[in-house]
């Protein structure tokens, strides 16, 4: 067995043996699906009272993903704990002593965690869509409608990329508390403010979550002038993820454990 394969196997053993892996990923699925169902049910009840403009912008697919904003909180925690827990416990010294090739160590850990996040993200997206459409009833969309399959697949990819971005940030900051203290305000406060204030909205739309979430939209809101499409937005998010991983690798390579 090659060294890389041995490291991947070791990282898989470490990740699946930590209780936080199960509860964070489970929470991401449950919260996203449950909140999406609730918002979908509320949207159905309110549809009759909507104005013409709101009805034209009504996006049943995107509504079923309404829980993603909160569900991504658990994905952020998962990404941070996967990488930064070893720093908080001191196990990072043992890990690097066993695997002195730091790039192999870091990217094996991230590869295993990414596969887990992808499986859960895709399952979450599929369940959120179908159960959300069930709540919407005759207002719902079909998986075969134009753009819907792309949105469902994109929803799973979005959740995965949120987790991987968090892994990169955690590798740079090397502390669970510090990483969460940076990521939580960034995604749940700063990003939303920048994207919804007229003076900064053109900057905010290029932040990872604002750009990436476009892939889940099927109906473009009236008056929207965003200069990229669904896959373009996800591509911007991928660039953010690559930058975070590159930063994490640079810090791990240059600094002592």
What's the rounded Cα separation, in Å, for the pair 178 and 81?
A: 11
Give tens-digit pLDDT for 7-16. 888 778 788 7
Residues 6+ apart with CB under 8 A from 223: none
Confidence band for 257, pLDDT divided at 50, 70 and 90: low
Return the pLDDT at 17: 76
The range of the structural domain enclosing residue 15 comes to 3-254
Rg of the chain over Cα atoms, rounded to whole angstroms, equals 19
Q: Is the torsion defined by CA of 222, 224, 225, 230 positive or negative?
A: negative
Average pLDDT, the chain: 91
pLDDT of residue 2: 64
Q: Report the pLDDT averaged over residues 114-137.
A: 97
Summarised one tens digit per residue, pLDDT across range 9-62 is 877 878 877 778 889 999 999 999 999 999 999 999 988 888 888 888 899 999
| Total number of domains constituting the chain | 1
Model pLDDT for residues 57-100, shown as the tens digit of each residue: 899 999 999 999 999 999 999 999 999 888 877 777 877 777 77
248 phi and psi, to 5 degrees?
Answer: -65, -40
The per-residue pLDDT for 100 is: 73
pTM reported for the whole predicted model = 0.93
Confidence of residue 230 (pLDDT cuts 50, 70, 90): very high
């Amino acid at each position: 067995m090659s060294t890389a394969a041995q490291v991947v196997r070791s990282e898989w053993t470490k990740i699946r043996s930590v209780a936080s892996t199960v509860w964070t990923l489970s929470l991401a699925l449950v919260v996203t699906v449950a909140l999406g169902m609730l918002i979908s049910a509320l949207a159905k009840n309110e549809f009759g009272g909507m104005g013409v403009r709101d009805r034209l912008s009504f996006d049943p697919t995107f509504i079923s993903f309404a829980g993603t904003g909160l569900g991504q909180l658990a994905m952020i925690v998962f990404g941070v704990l996967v990488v930064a827990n070893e720093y908080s416990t001191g196990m990072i010294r043992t890990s690097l002593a066993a695997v002195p090739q730091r790039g192999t160590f870091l990217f094996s850990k991230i590869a295993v965690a990414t596969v887990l996040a992808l499986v859960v993200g895709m399952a979450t997206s599929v369940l959120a869509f179908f159960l959300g459409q069930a709540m919407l009833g005759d207002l719902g969309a079909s998986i075969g409608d134009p753009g819907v399959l792309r949105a469902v697949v994109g929803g799973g990819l979005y959740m995965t990329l949120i987790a991987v971005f968090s892994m990169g940030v955690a590798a740079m900051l090397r502390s669970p508390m510090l990483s969460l203290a940076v990521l939580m305000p960034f995604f749940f406060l700063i990003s939303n403010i920048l994207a919804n204030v007229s003076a900064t909205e053109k900057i905010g739309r290029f932040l990872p979550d604002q750009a990436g979430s476009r892939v889940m939209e099927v109906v473009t809101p009236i008056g929207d002038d965003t200069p990229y499409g669904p896959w373009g937005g996800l591509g911007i998010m991928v660039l953010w993820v690559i930058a975070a991983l590159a930063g994490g690798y640079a810090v791990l390579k240059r600094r002592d454990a």
